[in-house]
């Protein structure tokens, strides 16, 4: 995230594409916060192992993974071509 946020402003893309790049980063942070809150609430209720507690935590982790996949795909589709162009120019 610390690298991608400034990169979103350096990559030559349209305003809408820049909003998508930054929006997907923000989505990952939001989903991660929600996942952390679910885990904290489940742990607060009981530290004993329970099937429903495991499912709640697994669903939260799955939501974070889906947000990361969406973020990665968006970045590859939008920022990938300009970054590859930069790398090719550097390579010679």
Active site amino acids: 32
Summarize the annotated binding site for substrate as residue ranges: 18, 32, 61
Summarize the annotated binding site for a divalent metal cation as residue ranges: 39
Summarize the annotated binding site as residue ranges: 18, 32, 39, 48-50, 57-58, 61
Residues 20, 21, 22, 26: what is their CA dihedral angle, to the nearest 10 degrees? 90
Instruction: Extract the tokens encoding 74.
Output: 């968006």
């Amino acid at each position: 995230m610390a690298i991608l946020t400034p990169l979103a402003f350096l990559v030559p893309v349209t305003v809408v594409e820049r909003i998508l790049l930054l929006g997907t980063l923000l989505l990952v942070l939001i989903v991660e916060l929600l996942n952390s809150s679910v885990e904290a609430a489940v742990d607060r209720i009981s530290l004993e192992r329970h099937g429903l507690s495991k499912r709640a935590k697994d669903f939260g982790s799955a939501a974070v993974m889906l947000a990361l996949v969406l973020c990665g795909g968006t970045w590859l589709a939008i920022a990938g071509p300009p970054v590859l162009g930069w790398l090719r120019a550097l390579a010679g």
